[in-house]
């Protein structure tokens, strides 16, 4: 996969998306219910995406 260069304003969104993926991995690897946290972070990511783009 080709590496994409990030603009400064994109970095917070990319970090948030990485955090969401880490929580998804945690949920797959354990029996911890993180659905509420995922929903909150995904909502935040959607809002940030709309604000940025």
Structure tokens at 32: 């911890």
What is the predicted pLDDT for the residue at 17?
93
**pLDDT interval class at 16 (50, 70, 90):** very high
Residues 6+ apart with CB under 8 A from 44: 16
Half-sphere exposure of 45 toward its Cβ, with a 13 Å CA cutoff? Answer: 16
Average pLDDT in the 4-26 region?
A: 89
Which candidate, 21, 4, 10, places its Cα nearest to that of 53? 10
Averaged pLDDT of the chain? 87
**pLDDT interval class at 2 (50, 70, 90):** low
Write down the domain spans for the chain. 8-52
Residue where the block lists tokens 């590496």: 3
What is the predicted pLDDT for the residue at 40?
93
């Amino acid at each position: 996969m080709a590496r994409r260069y990030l603009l400064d304003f994109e970095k917070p969104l990319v970090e948030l998306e990485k955090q969401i993926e880490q929580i998804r991995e945690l949920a797959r690897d354990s029996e911890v219910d993180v659905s509420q946290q995922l929903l909150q972070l995904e909502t935040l990511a959607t809002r940030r995406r709309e604000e940025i783009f």
